[in-house]
Amino acid sequence: MINTAQDPTITPNSNEVTPLVPESIGQNPEISQPPETTQFPQTSQLSEIPQAPETPQTSPPSKMGNKRYILILGAIAIFALIIFVFIRIINNSKQNSLKNTVVAPIVTPTPAPTPTPIPLIPDEGTKGNYRVTQGTHVGPTFTLVTFDPLVVDINQTLTITVKLTSKTPIDQVTGILTMDHSQADLSFQKTATDGQVETWQANTLLKDSVLYNYILSLSAKSGSDSSTITIAPRAKP
């Protein structure tokens, strides 16, 4: 509150106001001066702030590299899928073939019983004599065939003696010996003559067995006439 009694610039009951002069500001104790501005000392240079080390920047992978990597992975996956499918197909085909395969039971054939050879009984020591009777025929006539020995083995010599009668001299006597697995040709030689009776003989070394087939075919020729006979001590049915 301003005291008019003390302030000469204000006159009581006066309509005029005397303007304040600048000097009155300094003399008025109630009006305070504006505060002085505090000034900081200026520094000619700012202290340097340490900077963090630079982090090396890595360039991001290119789009072309990413696409190539994806294509390689895709190709590997497709290749693996093809192999897997191929293996599955092979396994399925094998399983189907095994299912469709009918395993036939193994049947062992029963071997045929081995036939028992016909027993041979010599009638003169080891010899076997077979008397021959021929009907009406043309050519020499066989009367006796002798096997010596009658029971003969492989690699053993068999002597066959034949007696014949003929009105004319006999020119040739031949024979074929049929054995179990092979045949042998026989060539006879004349050994004796007694009137119209002639004796012819042949020797052969057996190379085969005669257990089941022991068959002798004989042929005699005199001039243009000939005759044949067959003697079979053993013959397979």
Q: What residue segments make up the domains of the chain, in order of their start?
A: 128-234
CA distance 160 to 216: 10
Model pTM score: 0.54
For 2, residues 6+ apart whose C-beta sits below 8 A from its C-beta are 10
Written as six digits, the tokens of 114 are 């081995």
| E strand or H helix that includes residue 175 | strand 172-178
Q: Does domain 128-234 have CATH number 3.40.50.10860?
A: no
Per-residue pLDDT 10s for the chain (237 aa) are: 444 444 444 444 444 444 544 444 444 445 445 555 555 455 445 455 556 556 555 555 566 777 787 888 888 889 888 888 888 888 877 777 666 666 667 878 887 778 889 999 999 999 999 999 998 888 999 999 999 999 999 999 999 999 999 999 999 999 999 999 999 999 999 999 999 999 999 999 999 999 999 999 999 999 999 999 999 999 988
